[in-house]
Each structure stands twice: as C-alpha cells, then as structure tokens.
Amino acid sequence: MRVLRLARTHRGAVAVLALLVLSACVLVAGLPRTMQAAFDGALRQSLAAAPAYQRDVAVELRSSGPESDLREPAQFASYGEQYRDLVPEPLSDLLDGTGHASAKTYDTPVNGSGGRTYLNLGWLSDGERRVEWAEGRAPGSVGTTRWQGQTVPLYEVGVSAEARDMMGLKVGDLKILGESDFAAVKVVGVFRARDAGDDYWSHNGEILHVTRLQPPGSLDYEHYTTALIADAGLARLSGADRNLSYRWVLPVDAARTGARQVDELDAAVTEFERVLKVRPGLVSGTVVSTGLPGLLDGFRAALATAQTVMFLVLGGLLVVALGVILLAVRLLVDRMDRALSLTRARGGSLRQVAGTGAVLVAAVVGPAAAAGYALSYLFPGPVPPVVHAGPVAVAVAAVAFAAARIAVAHRAPLHERREDVVAARPSARRITLELLVVGLALAGAYLLRTRGTAAGGLDPFLLVVPLALTLAAALITMRCYPYPLRLLVRAAAGGRTAVAFLGLTRAARTGSSGVLPVLILLPALGVSVFASVISGSVASTQRLASWQAVGAPVKITSDRELTAGEVERVRQVPGVARVVPVQLADVQVGHTAERAEVIAVDLAGWRELVAGAPVSLPAPPAADSGIPALVSHELRGRGTFEIGWQSRLTITTRDVVTAVPGFFTEGKFIVLPFDVNPRPVVNALLVSGAADRAALARAVPDARVETQAATLAAIQADPMTGTVSATLLVVTVALAGYALVAVLITLVIGAADRARALSLLRTLGLSDRQARRLTVLEILPMVLVTALVGLGLGLGLPAALGPGIDLSAYAGGLAVGGYDLDLTTPAALAAGLAVVAVLGAYAHAAISRRRDVSAVLRVGDLS
C-alpha cells in the first residue's frame, strides 16, 4: 500500500493534523523557554536590588593577637587570591573578578564620652580611589603622644562629612580612644565618597555614615562611626589591644545568575564554608559571611509557586493539545478505514496494516514536530529539558495512538463493527476503577488543603491532584451525561414535532466512543477558567497592594517640616483635587525609654480622598473627652496614657487597628487627630487628582513623591509576574482555540453517520431547516454540559488547591485569597463553542442537502 497515495487522497485530514502538531510543538517547546528566561530575569533583578553586603560573599577573620595580625596590604592581596581560588563552582562563575579587603576595629569608645560616642579605625585596600577630600588631607604616618603618663600611638585619620556634621569632629581635633588600652587619633581630613551610590559602600557604610542607636532603657543615643587610616596605620593595628576584624569581599555579579542554579549555589556556599575550616595554610578562624542563601530562599519560594502555576497550565495545555491531535489522528485513520480493511481482507497482515497507518502518521507529525521545535528557538531564553521532550512526546503519542487504533480495529479480517449498537454495559471492573479514580481525586484535594504543600520546592502532589480532579470530572460527566438527556427525550416525545425528539435521542444514545472526543473540552475549559481566575485575582490583589503601600493616589513625605508656602504650591499644581496634610513623628511613651510612631491626620478627609479605592481606613474615633487615639496591637489595653511629643499629651485609647495604609503595617504606632498639637508640624501630604508626578516633585524639591500608579506599575513590571500573567493569557487563548478545533473535528468525525441519518430522514419528509435543527440538538447538549462542568472545575480548582498556591510574590507581598469570580472569559468561551457548534451543524446540513440520497444510502437501507 502506497503511503503517499493515502496522503494525497486524505490531504485535508493530513493538513489539519500537521497544523495541530506544529502549533502544539511551538507552544510546548517555546513557552518553557520564555518562562525560564523570566525566572532567570527575576532572580537577577532580585539579587541586583538587594544590598551588596547581602548578595556578595565575604570572608571574615577576627584578630586575637600578634600571631594572627595582618600588617601589610600584600598579605591581604595574597589571602584574597587564595580565598577566591577556593570558591567552588558554580559560585566561582558568578564572581566578577573585583573585590577589596578591609581591616576595622569595632566597639572603640571615645574616652570620656560615657560610652555614648564610638570612633573606630578602618583601613580599605582601595580607599584612596573611593573617596575625595573635602577638607584637609589624607591621613599618613603613625606617631606617638603622651596620655595619663603613658606613651600611646597617635593615628592620623580622616572622617566623613556626615561624622563631621553629626558628631562635631573637625580637622585638627585630637581624641583619645579606649578605656584601658589607649590610642589617640588626630583628624587631618574630611572626605566624601566619589560615588555614594556604589555597591562598594554597602560593605563599608559605617565609614561613610554615622550610626545612631538607642540602648534599651536609655533616653540617650549612642553614635558610631569609623575613621579612615593609611597603610602606616594598618601596620600599627593589632588585635592585642583593639577589637580588630579583617574582611575580604568577593562581589557576585547578579547578571551571571540563573534560576536553575539556585540549589547548586546553596550547596556551593556550604562547601566553601567547609573548605575554609579544613584548608591548611590559611589563618584559622575564618568564616564566610553572606546573605546569598537567604536571598535564594526567598526567590525559591516565589519560583516554586511560579513553576507550580506554569506546570499546571502548561500541563493542561499539553493534555488538551494531545487530545485534539489524537482526534485529528482518529479522523485520518477513520478516513483510511476502507482502504485498510480492503488490504486486510486481501491477506495483509495486521503488522502491515497497522504499520502503514503508523508510517503515514509519522510522515505527517515528524516534520511538523521538527518544524515546531525549530520555530520554538525564536522564543527568547535558555533551553530547559522540556523543550526537547515536548515535541518528541507529541510525535510519539500521535504515532502510537494511530498504530494502536488500527491494530484494534483490524485485528481480524472483515471484522464487522455494529455502529447501530448504542452502548455496552460497563463491566464491574471498569466501574470500580472509575469510582477509585473519583475517590482518590477527592481524597487528594482534601489532603492538599489539610496538609499543605511540601517545603523546599515543587510539590509533585500539587501537580497530580488537579489532573486527578479533571479526570474524575470527565468520568462523572461521561457516565451521567445521558441520564438528564433521556428525561428531556421523554419530555420531547410528547411534542408536536419529531425534530426535538430525534435530535435529543441521538445525543442521548451517543456511546462512550462518541462522548470521549468532546470531553477534550473539559480540561480545556477547566484550565482556561482556572487561568483567568488566577490572573484576575492576582491583578486585583496587585492593585490592593499598591494602595496599601501608598495609602493615597499620591503621597509626599519629607524629613523636615513642610512650610505653608510649599503646601500651597502643591495645592496649586494642575490636576490636584484635594490635599490632606499629615504629621508624622517618633514619640516617647509615658516617661520611659519606650518609643512609638505617631500619625496625626484628618481621617474623615483621608477617607473622602480615597473613596472608591480598595483600601480600607479606620473610622475616626469618637471624641467624648480628651484626645481620642487609635493604637496598634502592641499598645492595646493601656487605656489613658501620656506621650512625649512637642509637649506632654494625654491620650485615650478608643480602638485598636492592625495597620495604617501607606505608613504602618506592624510595630507600635498611634493614630491621632490632626489638630492634636497647638502648631501642626506637617511633614507629609496625601494628594488626589491627576497631577503630574514631576510637577509635584518640583513643588517640594527635597521631598519623596510616591504614586499608587507607579507602585502598581513596579509590581507588575517584575519579570516573573509579567511572564506568569502573559503565559496565563497565551494559554487561555490557545486552549480556547483548541476547544473550538475539537468541536469542529468532532463534527467532521461523525459527518458520515450523520449524513446517512439525515438522508434517510429526508426520504421521510425531513426539510432542510429541520435537518439543521436536528444536527444542532445532537451536538449542542454535549457542548453545553461539558462547558458547564469545565466552568465548575475551573472555578473550583483554586479553592481545591488552597494553600498549595501562594501567589503573594506576584501581588506585592499580599496573600491572594478570595479568588474573584469573573465569568467574562468562561462565558465568552462557552458562547464561542455554542456558536461554532451551531455553524458547524448548519454547514454540515447544507453539505448533506446537496448530496444525492443514492450516494449515501445503500441498497436495502429503505426496506
């Protein structure tokens, strides 16, 4: 039998099969690449946004005396090279080749300050090219001076401009350090960073800035800073008389990272720590300091959720695509049935007949799958293993199904198949198996909600349960579908016309082989509805998160008091509709060292400003007597108490609030009326309207301007968030297309039997209009029933999966719950299917009308 002749004879079915395989392979091989590229981009963005001291790898050593002191820059360079050589792969591949070393003292008090001022000494391996001198000069040699009858070392140091302003350190000042082992420092210069935004200063912030701390139980603050010393000062530093630590920083290049390296990077950090402990020849006591594992853990949680959602929707897409492809294979095999039966009757072996069909299908799907695989390389991103496996699985499944179907159909020569048999009674074994599947699906959904998901990555259980639920819904639909139709048949039997009775009867008598192809619609509708529900819920939660982060359409905050003129300039900016002033402060609680954050605002005006927004604000407290206050949970139960602000105020607790949108989400805070102070000190503004952000920033140049729209855009701009949303949209559209194709192929598969029945009925007086109605009634019930079941499945999947899907990483940190019930997409899909079914039925009836009855009916059919 010639395969090419069969292909030419059935070129329509061959073309449909090739197009379906091509589209499926493009999607199953291309979308994972886009997903992986988004995962990599999200990891790089996450690491790049993290402070360098968390992202980079540092090796630390505390000096304990002369035997462990490092006094020469060359020693630091030598140890740095050794440490870099010991970093295992793939962590070593991420190091950018730069780095620096430092030596710093810590907890060094200024003599006579009462433990409230600390001036540490710091040496940087490349400090001379990182700073520029605003006053004085760079520090130089180390001398000596006398103090309390002792000769102590005298270091020349340089201090930052911030230390000069906040701690009063001026060029020429001489300070004595220590309470027992004394040293003197002389300020010879004031420096500023050449690039204060460089990641370098994330590791050396104590040199550039002043740290202000309030010890527990104290009302005073302690001030810490680190002064720069020269190489000569390094040669004099020793762990014998100072708290001294050495540090080597190995910067990590975030652009070189990939999501598939997450687990390997964790293992590499652990291995690096182990090697440093056992490596001979290095200074003992070295430890690895890095926040990289913590950053990777946070990303891993978001990645696991993204992978789960992606595997669910892409798995559903693959199942539906395979189902439609198998329908197309069935269409092609059924078209070849007469030729194959003739070959079998003439002595052809079962292997020859099945092999011929399999070769024809392979000749179609092989090149189509290869073309789809090649086209997938147009998608950006790396190549995960599923890119190679997906097209192969599609081609193998199509060929195997063709061979199996032909082998079963032609296992005996001239095997007559009774097409008029409605259905066989299912065996007890089959019923038991189907009940087992349904029971396991329900039990899996229950366990998933009760036990949660496995920690530490993708949970296979989370992937199996949706598949089991879909299969269970399909089995229930297939078994229960005929029964309500038979009730309708009984009702239609008493009607005046026979069309409704005949159409519903044919629909109710459809056997399992006829119902099964249409059930491809079930996972298509279920997954598409699930994707639309997830997408809509994430979008609404993103909007809520942006409002909770800002608290108003626009929020303007400043570290100083805003003048009346500045507030008026904001009011005059074009597009500003309303301005609510706010006072923010850090106050003393009672007469103790306890502190709390305070916001004084007109809550009624604020509520009017955000009317219609999804954010909820507390109601203004009743002012029966005294100053009413809303307090956080940490301050509840105190009744009436005092706070120290501009003056001593006595406030009365009226209610407890969990958060104040735009300002407080945790900790100790208090909400007070705006007029609580005799003279309000406004340092924040809440603005509504359509004003330009740049214009507002020009009105108050040194203030921070945040907008709800920009915050929402930042949440949506995350690479992983954007890819999840885009993939959900693409999958929804693709599933809708496959569902429509499944309806059309189902109509074509049953076309011959349907044409024969309509031709027979036309000999009995059936009109063309009645023939079209009959065809619609035959097809439409199954489509509508499957659409309703698929809709219910898609709406139920988010609730069934429950805690297994944590989408907070894509919604600004807020948990996505109470999934929105948006029926727009499902209703449009169901309507589209119904329209296609009606149009297909009408087209088929029109084609059947043009056929000659003698070309359809055989001799004896009318007897």
The full 3-state SS of 127-178, as one line of letters, equals HHHCEEEEEECCCCCEEEEEECCEEEEEEEEEEEHHHHHHHCCCCCCEEEEC
* Structural tokens at position 719: 């690479």
Cα separation, 836 vs 245, whole angstroms: 75
Please tell me the least confidently modeled range out of 12-16, 430-434, 469-473, 529-533. 529-533
Q: Give dist(CA 121, CA 75) in Å, integer.
A: 19
Q: Report the Cα 371 to chain-centroid distance in Å.
A: 31
Q: Is the pLDDT of residue 417 over 60?
A: no
> Which pLDDT score is estimated for 695?
92
Which runs of E-coded beta strand occur in 694-764? 704-707
**Per-residue pLDDT at 144 exceeds 70:** yes
Residues 725 and 863 in one domain: yes
In a domain, 835, yes or no: yes
Confidence band of 841 (pLDDT split at 50, 70, 90): low
Place of tokens 């080597």: 248
Task: Report strand pairing: 117-124 vs 222-228.
Answer: parallel
Distance in angstroms between the alpha carbons of the first and the last residue of the chain: 37
Q: Are both 221 and 110 inside the same structural domain?
A: yes
Residue type, 88: P
Residues 6+ apart with CB under 8 A from 726: 34
Q: Is it the case that residue 280 has pLDDT exceeding 60? A: no
Give the model's pLDDT for residue 802: 61
- pLDDT confidence bin for 863, thresholds 50/70/90: very low
pLDDT band at 421 (very low <50, low <70, confident <90, very high): very low
Residue 818 has what pLDDT? Answer: 62
Three-state DSSP at 335 gives helix
Residue 326 lies in a domain: no
Please, which contacts does 194-199 make with residues 24 or more away whose CB atoms are closer than 8 Å? 194/129, 194/130, 194/131, 194/132, 195/130, 198/130, 199/51, 199/52, 199/56, 199/251
DSSP string, 616-664: --PPPPP-SSSEEEEE-GGGTT--EEEEESSSEEEEEEEEE-S-BTTTB
Reply yes or no on whether the pLDDT at 570 is more than 90: yes
Res. 217 pLDDT band, cuts 50 70 90: low
CA-based angle 287:293:296, to the nearest 5? 160
CA atoms of 321 and 731, how far apart (whole Å): 11
Cα 455 to Cα 301, 802, 805, 814, distances in angstroms: 9, 15, 12, 20
The closest of 534, 477, 507, 324 to 788, measured between CA atoms, is 477
Claim to verify: residue 620 and residue 644 sit in the same structural domain: yes
Hey, is 552 helix, strand or coil? Answer: coil
768 in a structural domain: yes
Query: Are both 197 and 127 inside the same structural domain?
Result: yes
Is residue 658 in a domain? yes
Please indicate, yes or no, whether residues 617 and 756 belong to a single structural domain of this protein: no
Task: Report, as an integer, the average pLDDT of 134-143.
Answer: 92
Q: Is the dihedral of CA 206, 211, 216, 221 positive or negative?
A: positive
Among the candidates 652, 677, 702, a domain finishes at 702
CA angle (229, 235, 239) in 5-degree steps: 90
The verdict on 684 and 637 lying in the same domain is yes
**Domain count within the chain:** 3
With beta carbons less than 8 A apart as the criterion, state whether 562 and 569 touch. Answer: no
| Co-location of 219 and 137 in the same domain | yes
Q: Which two tokens stand for residue 670?
A: 């208090």
Find the domain containing 569 and state its range: 559-702
How many Cβ atoms sit within 10 Å of the Cβ of residue 621?
Answer: 19
One-letter-per-residue 3-state SS of 379-413 = CCCCCCHHHHHHHHHHHHHHHHHHHHHHHHHCCCC
Amino acid letter, 89 = E
State yes or no: cis peptide before 673, omega within 30 of 0: no
Does 255 map to a domain? yes
Q: Is residue 383 part of a domain?
A: no
| Closest alpha carbon to 672 in 774, 596, 569, 560 | 596
Do 146 and 240 lie in one domain? The reply is yes
Cα dist from 10 to 33, 394, 583, whole Å: 35, 21, 79
Residues 758-781 have pLDDT tens digits of 777 777 777 767 777 777 777 777
683/493 Cα distance (integer angstroms): 80
- Of 702, 731, 752, which residue is a domain's last? 702
Determine the Cα–Cα distance for residues 639 and 641; give it in Å rounded to an integer. Answer: 6
pLDDT at 800 over 90: no
Q: Which DSSP state fits 664?
A: B
Is the pLDDT confidence value at 636 over 50? yes
Q: Give the pLDDT score at 569.
A: 93
Q: What is the pLDDT of residues 376-414, one digit of tens each?
A: 998 888 888 888 888 999 999 999 998 988 888 777 665
pLDDT, one tens digit per residue, over 440-478 is 888 887 777 676 555 555 566 666 777 788 888 888 887
In angstroms, rounded to a whole number, what is the distance separating the alpha carbons of residues 819 and 798? 7
Is the domain of 240 the same as that of 94? yes
Q: Are strands 595-601 and 669-672 parallel, antiparallel or unpaired?
A: parallel
Q: Does residue 583 lie in a domain region?
A: yes
Tallying the residues shown for the chain, one arrives at 863
Structure tokens belonging to residue 179 = 């309470």
Q: Is the pLDDT of residue 137 over 90?
A: yes
73-82: average pLDDT: 90
Reported as a single tens digit per residue, the pLDDT across 95-117 is 987 889 999 999 999 998 888 89
Residues facing 284 on adjacent strands: none
Average pLDDT of 796-816?
A: 71
135 shares its domain with 244: yes
Summarize the confidence of residues 691-714 as an average pLDDT.
Answer: 90
pTM for the full model? 0.74
Domain match, 593 and 507 both: no
Mark which of 289, 306, 338 sits at the end of a domain. Answer: 289
Q: How far apart are CA 435 and CA 437, in angstroms?
A: 5
Please tell me what DSSP assigns to residue 690: S
* Within a domain: 244: yes
Q: Which residue do the tokens 């993103």 mark?
A: 542
- Burial category of 336 from C-beta neighbours within 10 Å (exposed 0-12, middle 13-18, buried 19 and up): buried
Q: Looking at the structure, tell me whether residues 717 and 644 fall in a common domain.
A: no
SS3 330: helix
**Tokens of residue 94, six digits:** 């991420």
